[in-house]
Structure 1
Amino acid sequence: MFGGGIFDGQGSIAYEKNTCENREFRSKLPVNIRFDFVTNALIQDITSKDSKLFHINVFACKNITLECLKIEAPNESPNTDGIHMGKSEGVNIIASDIKTGDDCISIGDGTKNMVIKEITCGPGHGISIGSLGKFQNEEPVEGIKISNCTITNTSNGARIKTWPGEHGGAVSEIHFEDITMNNVSSPILIDQQYCPWNKCKKNEESKVKLSNISFKNIRGTSALPEAIKFICSGSSPC
């Protein structure tokens, strides 16, 4: 799939209504582009603009490459993740420019053996593993390499987020390296007390086990004094 076309979600008509109090409205919003149960594919040189929800959703796919993509939405647009994936293996995201109101790239459960490189991210919430641990029977996330990326004017940079309490899971062999941060509020963050809207069991520890996580050659500037923050689970320490 290639050719320089634009998928325009005309999301501005939905952004004001997409609030925490209006979850029924949010549940009906469309994703700009979906790839479900796709094997051996190349998605190249397309643009996703102003999605009402996620720009690109990748689910249960194997051996696909997304390359030279342009993704754009306003900084204040809610839940407009650039690329979200889950239960997929062998996905490559390469040489793409992502500007959005949520995670530039978010990696859900069951994602394995993935390469993310040469990404320009910002504005947005950075590149995130998770959130994980909210639902029962989540599959492990393992073998993810993020490298040679530039993250600018985002709330987070390289992030792993899991819910407190709730359910178990596993995250392993996650490697962030050769990443430049420019004016990022939380450049490096492990948050095992992730609790948006205070809708969680904050008095309980996360049951998601993190292991073999590395951050190598991360450089740049932090917008806040604390550039590195590890909020680890007491029951399943980082």
Structure 2
Amino acid sequence: MDLKITPFKALYKAAGYSANAEVFTAGGPPNSDITAAVLKAFTSACQAPAPSQVLIPKGDFKLGETVMTGPCKSPIEFTLQGNVKADGGSTQGKDRWVVFEKINGFKLNGGGTFDGEGNAAWKANNCHKTFECKKLPISVRFDFVDNAEIKDITSLDAKNFHFNVISGKNMTFDNIKIIAPAESPNTDGIHLGRCEGVKILNTKIATGDDCISVGDGMKNLLIEKVVCGPGHGISVGSLGRYGWEQDVTDINVKNCTLEGTDNGLRIKTWPSAACTTTAAGIHFEDIILNKVSNPILIDQEYCPWNQCNKNKPSTIKLVDITFRNIRGTSGNKDAVKLLCSKGHPCENVEIGDINIDYTGPDGPPTFECTNVTPKLVGTQNPKACVGPVVKAPGKE
């Protein structure tokens, strides 16, 4: 495979980069394996003294396990124009496919596709049922990546998570497309943990697990204009499974649409938690629902496949939680369920102006509260559980 180095001055001038930037192109014949070419191109770009670009041109290519590690001497732009398909032989029994790690100043774009070719592997994935499960690779990992923009990229049929984001700062995901069947197990769209200052914008996620899942240690996350479905909704958690977990703070979900998801807006913590941490400042606002099961759900008894002791209440503290202007239709009668821990009842939960309809035979929709007295603002449909009622700001 050829490794071409060509000037790309105009692009980097427009992006504010050095006029002496170079492009390192990794390509080959159609359907060829470009793993070695990609690694060679990234290594050259990482050592370049000025901002540079790695380019995978249009076409279909195979790609094996590819780990691209910094730190690099200058910012890197990784432009995927083609479609890369996972080479199952090089990732079998491993937990990763494409990895970007320890990079400061990074762009991933180009309109191309990471195709995880997960169809055959999903049958082997029973991680949602047991701790003892066969490893399947996450499609794209971002580990310790700071000051990054991931834009105009598609992830198709991941074997495991589509994107996994750990310990990053100041990252933006914009116009991402994530696609997998509703029955594909453990295919979270974007999973995040231990990050600060992440934005997920203008993104469409259709997958078999959480569209977006927020792990421990997250700070200052904005999710805006995301369309989710099918999938399991937008979830904070699960939290409390491990003893080393950190607090979660300042999570904002705005102007999103949920379509036919198994859950809607969810916070989930394990009973018999292995740690005592706090999740605070979690806000859901201006959300449209279309036949979403369990549209609003706080579940502090989250215990998949009986892997915990439900007799021990969750030790995760939930504080300052708001659900505002949530409207649309539910897929079952459980429109709102606030199931908080008897060990640490939820504090300062606000429900403001919700309108969730359900017309099924077991209706009408219900609003359930356990170990919480929510503050009610504006109007609630269904009728809320008992709590202090206040007028919405600016309303008579």
**TM-score if structure 1 supplies the norm length?**
0.98
Size of the aligned set, in residue pairs, is 236
- Of 22, 32, 38, which aligns to 2:145? 38
Per-residue CA shift, 1:179-227, capped at 9, x if unaligned?
0011011000000000001110111100000000000000000011120
| SS of the residue 2:305 aligns to | helix
Residues 1:148 and 2:255 aligned together: yes
Residues 1:47 and 2:148 aligned together: no
Distance change >3 Å, CA 197–CA 188, structure 1 → 2:
same
Residues 1:162 and 2:162 aligned together: no
| Stretches of structure 1 lacking an aligned partner (at least 5 in a row) | none
Instruction: Letter of the 1:210 partner, please give it.
Output: L
* 1:23 CA drift (Å): 3.2
Aligned partner of 1:236 in structure 2 is: 344
- Of 13, 28, 42, which aligns to 2:120? 13
Aligned partner of 2:385 in structure 1 is: none
* 1:21 CA drift (Å): 5.0
Aligned partner of 2:132 in structure 1 is: 23
CA distance in 2, matches of 1:204, 1:108: 22
**TM-score if structure 2 supplies the norm length?**
0.59
Instruction: Trace 1:186-197 onto structure 2 (pairs within 5 A).
Output: 186-197=294-305
CA distance in 2, matches of 1:155, 1:207: 26
- Of 315, 322, 325, which aligns to 1:217? 325
Instruction: Letter of the 1:213 partner, please give it.
Output: I
* 1:22 CA drift (Å): 8.0
Aligned partner of 2:389 in structure 1 is: none
Instruction: Letter of the 1:227 partner, please give it.
Output: A
CA distance in 2, matches of 1:6, 1:16: 23
Tell me: higher relative CO, structure 1 or 2? Use CA pairs within 8 A at least 6 residues apart: 1
CA distance in 1, matches of 2:333, 2:266: 17
Instruction: Letter of the 1:222 partner, please give it.
Output: S
CA distance in 2, matches of 1:219, 1:22: 37
Percent identity of paired positions between Structure 1 and Structure 2: 56
Aligned partner of 1:201 in structure 2 is: 309
Moved over 3 A (4+): 21-24
Aligned partner of 1:185 in structure 2 is: 293
Instruction: Letter of the 2:204 partner, please give it.
Output: D
Residues 1:227 and 2:335 aligned together: yes
| SS of the residue 2:121 aligns to | helix
Aligned partner of 1:125 in structure 2 is: 232
Residues 1:174 and 2:253 aligned together: no
Instruction: Letter of the 1:41 partner, please give it.
Output: A
Instruction: Trace 1:49-88 onto structure 2 (pairs within 5 A).
Output: 49-88=156-195
The structure with the largest alpha-carbon Rg is 2
Distance change >3 Å, CA 128–CA 21, structure 1 → 2:
closer
Instruction: Letter of the 1:192 partner, please give it.
Output: Q
8 Å contact 2:235–2:268 — kept in the other structure?
yes
CA distance in 1, matches of 2:113, 2:132: 28
Instruction: Letter of the 1:30 partner, please give it.
Output: P
* 1:16 CA drift (Å): 1.1
RMSD, matched Cα? 0.9
* 1:115 CA drift (Å): 0.4
CA distance in 2, matches of 1:172, 1:89: 15
Per-residue CA shift, 1:10-58, capped at 9, x if unaligned?
0001111112258331xx2111111000010000000000000000000
* Structure number having the greater strand percentage: 1
Distance change >3 Å, CA 71–CA 204, structure 1 → 2:
same
Instruction: Letter of the 2:230 partner, please give it.
Output: P
| SS of the residue 1:15 aligns to | helix
Per-residue CA shift, 1:85-130, capped at 9, x if unaligned?
0000000000000000000000000000010000000000000000
8 Å contact 2:273–2:316 — kept in the other structure?
no
